[in-house]
Amino acid sequence: MIKIVGIGPRRDDMTLRALQALEEAEIVIGYGGYTRQIDDLLEGKEVISKGMGQEVNRAELAIDYSSKGYKVALISSGDPGVYGMANVLHQVMGKYAGVEVEVIPGVTAVNYSAALLGAPLHDFTVISLSDILTPLSEIKRKVRAATKADFIIAFYNPRSKRRTKPFQEALQILKDIRKGETPVGIVKTSDEGSKINITSLGGLKEDEVDMNTTVIVGNTFTYVDNGKMVTPRGYVLPHSTHPLAWEFYEKYLAGEGNKGPNMACEYYPCHSHPQNCTFCYCPFYPCGDPSTGGRWIKEKKVWSCEDCTWIHQDDTVQCIEGKLSQLLEKVEDLQDNKKKLLKLRRECVYLTK
């Protein structure tokens, strides 16, 4: 039996299943850098350490020892199915019969990094920028597709001293499609611990990144709050409709609302000129999403739209009104259909922001 064991990004993040698999193993095979991390757990076992680039050899050794009746642990950092030994072993064992394999999952670098950064993951993709086995054209195609689809993107193996072009190409694709203020999280892991930095796409410097770094690039909705990177999922925050908002939407639904800039308003412009005043009161309040400029007034626990001008853009109003009539037939729908309204908001934020 071969157990492909994910030992996580650090010893402290190993799972109970991984510890049990190592305890039961008679032969432990792995990259030397990984076996050294857990050498105190391997006392009394035969340990075979191989260098980087000898993955196929490690897989063959595991199969050979397993065929002789030994309990074998083939170890990977992180999760063995994410750029790890699970893929290698399953490919190699295709030419053998009767090989028993169990994959023991582990904490991945992207999960570990995301936990340190805050909560940046929603729908996301993981892309390795190593072009040792993968053509650069394939890497670029995947980066471009993920960027256009607005996935949060985690980059593994981003840059080494000699291999710099894939990261340069990926960075250029990102900058061509996403805005410079898009949050970017950088987690650099070493034996001493992890160094964390949250910057922006426009402020990202190439020399901040090396082979021990995981880079997480946010999407349209990702924001930074109190030093943490957050991508909201769109949950409804209960809140009663303000009497003035109620009055406003009674007129709006009756076709008596203002369209475009309301120059007659004594408060115009309440944000900046020119502004579209069709939605003087936002139909999504409170969205609880700082990605468009809103924020919590923490001492009052009140959501402030003071710095959000998104709702007053012409293209925003056009997008919202394209579907709003299907969701808002009476003022009560501001509450009753809040979940659907927030989904409309997300759609329009992506199309206009």
Asked if the structure places residue 236 within a domain, the reply is: no
Last residue of a domain, one of 203, 230, 257: 230
Q: Can you give the pLDDT at residue 198?
A: 97
Domain of residue 16, CATH code: 3.40.1010.10
- The residue behind tokens 């309204």 is 341
The pLDDT tens digits of the residues spanning 6-34 come to 999 988 899 999 999 999 999 999 998 89
Span of 36-45, 104-113, 325-334 with lowest mean pLDDT: 36-45
- If one compares 282 and 272, the residue with the highest pLDDT of the two is 282
Q: Phi, psi at residue 351, to the nearest 5°?
A: -75, -20
Mean pLDDT of the chain: 94
Alpha-carbon dihedral angle through residues 225, 227, 232, 235, given to the nearest 10 degrees = -60
Q: Which two tokens stand for residue 145?
A: 């597709």
pLDDT, tens digit (0-9, with 9 covering 90-100), for 288-308: 999 999 999 999 999 999 999
Distances (CA, A) of 345 to 284, 329, 331: 7, 17, 17
Residue 238 in any domain: the answer is no
Domain boundary among 73, 107, 141: 107
Is the per-residue pLDDT at 271 higher than 80? yes
Neighbours of 201 (CB within 10 A): 18
What is residue 328's predicted lDDT score, i.e. its pLDDT?
A: 97
The CA-based angle 208-209-211, given to 5 degrees, is 150
Residue 235, in any domain of the structure: no
Q: Is 210 exposed, middle or buried (0-12, 13-18, 19+ CB in 10 A)?
A: middle
Pair 128, 220 in one domain? yes
Q: Which domain holds residue 325?
A: 243-352
The structural domain count of the chain equals 3
Looking at the fold, whether 255 and 186 belong to one and the same domain comes out as: no
Q: Comparing 49-53, 143-147, 281-285, 332-336, which segment has the lowest mean pLDDT? A: 49-53
Last residue of a domain, one of 202, 230, 258: 230
Average pLDDT for residues 73-81, to the nearest whole number?
A: 95
Please tell me whether residues 226 and 333 are part of one structural domain. no
d(CA 158, CA 165): 10
**DSSP code string of 35-72:** HHHTGGG-TTSEEEEE-TT-HHHHHHHHHHHHHTT--E
pLDDT exceeds cutoff 80 at 269: yes
pLDDT in tens, 191-244: 777 899 999 999 999 989 998 999 999 999 999 999 999 999 989 988 999 999
